Amino acid sequence: MDRRLDHNANLQSVILGLVLSALISAPASAADPAQYFSGKTLKIVVGYAPGGGYDTFARLLAVHFQKYLPGQPQIQVINMPGAGSEIGLRYVMKAKPDGLTMLNMPKVFIIRELLGEDIKEFEYQKALYIGQPDAVADAGVLMARTQVATSWKDIVGRGKPSTNGETEVGTSVSIPAAWLELIGAPIKNVYGYGGGSEVLSAFNRGELDLTTRASELAVIKRSFPEWIEKRPAFLTPIVRWRGLLNKELLDAGGWKQPPDIFEIAKSTEPQKAALDAWLELGTGSKVFTLPPGVPNDVYQALKKAFEATVTDPAFMKDAAARGADVALLKSENLMASVKRVTDASAEVRQILKKLYTGK
């Protein structure tokens, strides 16, 4: 045989092998979504311990998501607590990009990268966002154990910092307390708790003086209903933000409307602007996210199913029964709101970076 023909034949075999290998290793497409998802298992990873808000939303989605997913795959929730959800984040970002592994991700990861932090295994421009189910702009509140304080004046007059606990720096509920500490208020923020339920338990046993985790009556009733069964109540609202607290919450604890955070805080204009920016940006915190590289038809099928699920009356009713407020924020609107951070001045951005990253 001609050596040239033999060489060409070998070369063609090598090229064919490479092409077939690339096709086999490439993420599968979902030209027929029902066929693609049928018989498979979709994993929803939660970077916190069971029982908290992220876990609650993941399990809610697991119950209702299957109804809208073509092929009705099985859905499994996996808790991977640690490093402020970064263990779960790294696991999902390195997962096979087949659309069968997603993360209920803290929105703060996107913001931290926007503010200049390099988060290991994560590039916010490349990750694929399915949507946010908790974009509710409710008023927030800093509560104190009543035996510690019943007013901001009491907090200032204690002569020592009052402690507030959180999972990590930069969570959606931690920013106001972190801002108060940043401007010199007598508050000490303690980080490292495994989830919202752990924070509330620490508050309950007197380990913490303050909490920002009790702004919803449903959360109090679900976690520690005895807090509001007697008078005076176990806890008292000290300062609020993003509007007035609702009457139902105030009546349940026998409380008066507390002052707004800007009424009690002595802050500079850039400090105030930074908190204002957070108030616009910090609506909700939970972003369901896929790793980079998921085929667009698979991504779009998941996104469509997610949006249908979150707006389903049955999902909203189930969420309300578990004390979870629901409001859909589509992925495109999420990224538009996050991008507004880049419009802030350098000084305001630096304050925001400090609030979100601690650096």
Residue 37 placed within a domain: yes
Residue 14 placed within a domain: no
- Whether 161 and 274 map to the same domain: the answer is yes
CA atoms within 13 Å, Cβ hemisphere of 62: 22
Task: Report pTM.
Answer: 0.66
In whole angstroms, how large is the CA radius of gyration of the chain?
Answer: 24
Helix boundaries (H) for the chain: 3-25, 33-37, 53-64, 86-93, 108-114, 152-157, 175-182, 196-204, 217-223, 247-253, 261-264, 269-281, 296-310, 313-321, 331-339, 346-357
141, 214 in Cβ contact below 8 A? yes
**Per-residue pLDDT at 187 exceeds 50:** yes
- Whether 116 and 246 map to the same domain: the answer is no
Q: What is the pLDDT of residue 192?
A: 95
Q: What is the CATH number of the domain that holds 291?
A: 3.40.190.150
Q: What is the pLDDT of residue 138?
A: 76
Tokens 């994993």 correspond to what residue? 43
- Whether 109 and 147 map to the same domain: the answer is no
Q: How many domains does the chain have?
A: 2
Domain final position from 234, 266, 281: 281
- Boundaries of domain holding 77: 33-136+285-338
- Whether 116 and 147 map to the same domain: the answer is no
- 205 by Cβ neighbours in 10 Å (0-12 / 13-18 / 19+) ranks as exposed
Q: What is the CATH number of the domain that holds 243?
A: 3.40.190.10
Residue 201 placed within a domain: yes
* 21-30, 93-102, 116-125: range with lowest mean pLDDT: 21-30
Closest C-alpha to 291, from 127, 132, 129, 107: 127
Residue 293 placed within a domain: yes
- Whether 77 and 151 map to the same domain: the answer is no
- Tell me, rounded to whole angstroms, the distance of Cα 90 from its chain centroid: 15
Domain final position from 281, 297, 322: 281
- Whether 155 and 222 map to the same domain: the answer is yes
- Whether 272 and 201 map to the same domain: the answer is yes
Residue 354 placed within a domain: no
Q: What is the pLDDT of residue 255?
A: 98
- Whether 289 and 277 map to the same domain: the answer is no
- Whether 240 and 152 map to the same domain: the answer is yes
- Whether 71 and 40 map to the same domain: the answer is yes
Give bridge partners of residue 131 from the DSSP assignment.
288
Q: Would you place residue 211 in the very low, low, confident or very high pLDDT band (cuts 50, 70, 90)?
A: very high
* 74-78, 114-118, 188-192, 327-331: range with lowest mean pLDDT: 114-118
- Whether 144 and 276 map to the same domain: the answer is yes
Strands (E), 95-169: 101-106, 128-131, 140-145, 162-166
Residue 353 placed within a domain: no
Q: What are the tens digits of pLDDT across the range 29-70?
A: 556 899 999 999 999 999 999 988 899 999 999 999 999 999
Q: What are the tens digits of pLDDT across the range 122-173?
A: 999 999 999 999 988 778 999 999 999 999 999 999 999 999 999 999 887 8
Residue 9 placed within a domain: no
- Whether 145 and 116 map to the same domain: the answer is no
